[in-house]
Copies of this chain bind each other. A is one copy, B any other.
Amino acid sequence: MLQYRAPLRDLQFLQQTWLDLNAHFQALGLVDYDSDLAQDILEQGAKFAQDVIAPLNQIGDEEGCLLQDGKVTTPGGFAQAYAQYIANGWNAMLGDVEYGGSALPYTMAVPIHECLNSANISWRLTTMLTESAILALTKHGTQKLKDTYLAKLISGEWTGTMNLTEPHAGTDLSLLSTKAESQVDGTYRISGTKIFITGGDHDWTDNIIHMVLARLSDAPPGVKGISLFLVPKMMVDKDGQLGSPNAVSVGSLEHKMGIKGSPTCVMHYDDAIGYLVGEENNGLACMFTMMNDARFQVGLEGLGTAEIAYQGSLAYACERLQSRSPSGPIEPSQKADPIIAQPDIKRMLLTQKSLAEGCRSMSLWYAKLMDIEKHGKPAEQLHASQVIAYLTPITKAFFTDIGSEAAHHGIQILGGHGYIREWGMEQLVRDNRIAQLYEGTNGIQAADLIGRKLTRSNGEYLQATHTELAGLVAKIQDLQLTAKAQQLLTDWYQTSKTLMGSSAKASASKAHDYLQYCGYQITGILWCSVLDVVREAERSPYMENKTHTGQFYLKYILPRAEHHKSLLTSAESVNEMPLDLFNLD
């Protein structure tokens, strides 16, 4: 079984020293926060993830969820852990103060989200979706809806869900057919079937608030005819008390590769009562306002997976005695050396580690931008939102891809035992695999990056991201690191600009490699920045470790950026094969 220990030292170094949290809070006028408070909260949140949530991960996989008499039961201990989570106020971390939330800066909350994902993606998911529902409701709900639902969603007394996908409409939401009929009392009646609904039902709370995309009978076709509705599982009366059940039911639980502790439901809405969120036919826009956040949050699943995969691999590699080091015995008194003495094992460990730590720095940088988007001056807000828009598909796809890679290295390091369920490593592959698919497949992220984010507003997002990265590079003191970072930055900027004139078809064929290129290249720039701060810090084993890890990234991992860049041209060859040649019969 995997033992998770929150990487407190690395999180704190990146948060406090590299990001310079105190300066960040001061710049934004966040006078209630400082690095001591951030450290205190991080330690508590990390401890909760590590001691309460992580031990449930394997149980969740083994037990799975159960649907009986229309009710879903989650694995043993999940509901109790949730009760403790909301009692401790963790669910309210990000919520508005007005509705009982703590409104923590993202730079304080995101490291805790990472830890929760390392601990147990299945368990974390329902709370993540609740945060998404809160966001949609906060930004687009009427005052009455907010007053009725927000406080209980923020406290965690109720949870939320997001209902987008239907059997025939996933990537392409224009095809969705769930119906909404407006009623004379201003409510709507919702009918249709939704699939892949995370937390569609469970035994954690008395009520569940579903955010449902549906189509009014007189709506225009396509994505401009989609509206967003709030559909509670249990009706809520004007005093906030639960009334009768709404016409919402669970059709079945999906049989999945992983995240078995998370109830993924087929949901039926049979003339269920719903409330409009935002304007009619503007539902997709409402959904998209929270998409950046949700996609980044899914990215954190990949980061969390990479970290725990590394930890499990390292523990095994230090304990497992097998063969001798190629440079002679290092444990002569033992029958064999620990396999960490094998360079190929070290290669995989350092790959996991340098990717996890590189993505961690990107997650904190992204969190900083989210703080600025929320609390900065208007011009800063606009700038931050543009950088975030550009980075979002990268964090989602790149982080989840490296999570998958790190977990596969984990299996490989454990050898045959990596394939055995009791060891917990193969579960990481299965659990993280969904993160490359939901909230838009990683192919959709790549299309979004090259097809929208890169070109939108004449490249303003690219420009903003360049400005932001150039600021980071300018702060680097070391000449070698400056030169390296500057070269990476220039190369990325020029490569990106060159792609802006591509046709839709050419862009679509290059999308995957462009996103991968950006992921590795930007992570390279961030590593240069981190290494520069490490260089100035007091020497310690941690700092030496960090130096080696970053140098390994620059030497051994970063060449992947060059590889993907070299494929940008040849990727167009996919368009040479006529479609009718695929099927020969």
Question: B326 and A574: CB pair below 8 A?
Answer: no
Distance of A342 Cα from B257 Cα, bound (Å): 26
Question: Given A257-B426, A508-B343, is A433 in contact with B411 using a C-beta cutoff of 8 Å?
Answer: yes
Distance of A345 Cα from B322 Cα, bound (Å): 42
Question: B336 and A545: CB pair below 8 A?
Answer: no
User: Of B318, B509, B563, which one neighbours A563 at CB under 8 angstroms?
Assistant: B563
Q: Give this chain's copy count.
A: 2
Question: A420 and B584: CB pair below 8 A?
Answer: no
Distance of A562 Cα from B559 Cα, bound (Å): 11
Proximity string of chain A (395-433) to chain B, C-beta cutoff 8 Å, 1 when within and 0 when not: 000000000100010011001101111100010011001
Question: Given A196-B416, A314-B582, A556-B567, is A257 in contact with B421 using a C-beta cutoff of 8 Å?
Answer: yes
Question: B171 and A415: CB pair below 8 A?
Answer: yes
Which B residues touch A330, using CB under 8 A? Answer: 579
Distance of A170 Cα from B419 Cα, bound (Å): 13
Question: B322 and A584: CB pair below 8 A?
Answer: no
Question: Given A322-B170, A323-B172, A419-B434, is A340 in contact with B255 using a C-beta cutoff of 8 Å?
Answer: no
Which B residues touch A566, using CB under 8 A? Answer: 559, 562
Question: Given A442-B412, A567-B559, is A340 in contact with B172 using a C-beta cutoff of 8 Å?
Answer: no
Which B residues touch A583, using CB under 8 A? Answer: 314, 318
Question: B563 and A559: CB pair below 8 A?
Answer: yes
CB nearest neighbor in B for A346? B574
Question: B318 and A544: CB pair below 8 A?
Answer: no
Question: Given A335-B175, A584-B541, is A509 in contact with B411 using a C-beta cutoff of 8 Å?
Answer: no
Distance of A555 Cα from B555 Cα, bound (Å): 26
Question: B545 and A584: CB pair below 8 A?
Answer: yes
- Whether, in the assembled complex, A31 has its beta carbon less than 8 Å from a beta carbon of chain B, the answer is no
A419, A562, A575, A578 — which one has the most chain B CB atoms within 10 A of its CB? A419
Smallest CB–CB gap between A548 and chain B, Å?
4
Distance of A103 Cα from B408 Cα, bound (Å): 39
- Whether, in the assembled complex, A300 has its beta carbon less than 8 Å from a beta carbon of chain B, the answer is no
- Whether, in the assembled complex, A256 has its beta carbon less than 8 Å from a beta carbon of chain B, the answer is yes
Which B residues touch A433, using CB under 8 A? Answer: 411, 419, 426, 429
Which B residues touch A347, using CB under 8 A? Answer: 509, 512, 571, 574
Which B residues touch A256, using CB under 8 A? Answer: 419-421, 426
Question: Given A323-B171, A327-B505, is A318 in contact with B582 using a C-beta cutoff of 8 Å?
Answer: yes
Which B residues touch A574, using CB under 8 A? Answer: 343, 346-347, 350, 552, 556
User: Of B326, B327, B548, B576, which one neighbours A551 at CB under 8 angstroms?
Assistant: B576
Question: A336 and B509: CB pair below 8 A?
Answer: no
- Whether, in the assembled complex, A33 has its beta carbon less than 8 Å from a beta carbon of chain B, the answer is no
Which B residues touch A549, using CB under 8 A? Answer: 577
A168, A346, A583 — which one has the most chain B CB atoms within 10 A of its CB? A346
Q: Which of A307-342 contact B (CB under 8 A)?
A: 314, 318, 321-323, 326-327, 330, 335-336, 339-342
Question: B446 and A344: CB pair below 8 A?
Answer: yes
Proximity string of chain A (434-448) to chain B, C-beta cutoff 8 Å, 1 when within and 0 when not: 101110011100110
Which B residues touch A511, using CB under 8 A? Answer: 343-344
- Whether, in the assembled complex, A1 has its beta carbon less than 8 Å from a beta carbon of chain B, the answer is no
Which B residues touch A421, using CB under 8 A? Answer: 255-257
CB nearest neighbor in B for A575? B343
- Whether, in the assembled complex, A479 has its beta carbon less than 8 Å from a beta carbon of chain B, the answer is no
User: Of B350, B438, B504, which one neighbours A577 at CB under 8 angstroms?
Assistant: B350
Which B residues touch A436, using CB under 8 A? Answer: 411-412
User: Of B348, B416, B505, which one neighbours A170 at CB under 8 angstroms?
Assistant: B416
Distance of A208 Cα from B323 Cα, bound (Å): 31
Distance of A172 Cα from B325 Cα, bound (Å): 12
- Whether, in the assembled complex, A349 has its beta carbon less than 8 Å from a beta carbon of chain B, the answer is yes
Distance of A544 Cα from B577 Cα, bound (Å): 9
- Whether, in the assembled complex, A521 has its beta carbon less than 8 Å from a beta carbon of chain B, the answer is no
Q: Which of A504-527 contact B (CB under 8 A)?
A: 504-505, 507-509, 511-512
Cross-chain pairs A/B with CB under 8 angstroms, 23 sampled: A170-B416, A196-B416, A255-B420, A255-B421, A257-B426, A257-B429, A258-B419, A330-B579, A343-B505, A344-B446, A344-B508, A345-B443, A347-B509, A411-B437, A412-B437, A419-B437, A426-B430, A548-B578, A551-B576, A555-B573, A556-B570, A556-B571, A556-B574
Which 6 residue pairs of A and B lie closest in terms of their CB atoms, listed nearest first? A343-B509, A257-B426, A326-B504, A548-B577, A563-B563, A343-B508
Known A343-B508, A412-B436, A429-B433; further 5 A-B contacts with Cβ < 8 A: A172-B323, A175-B336, A327-B503, A343-B505, A416-B438
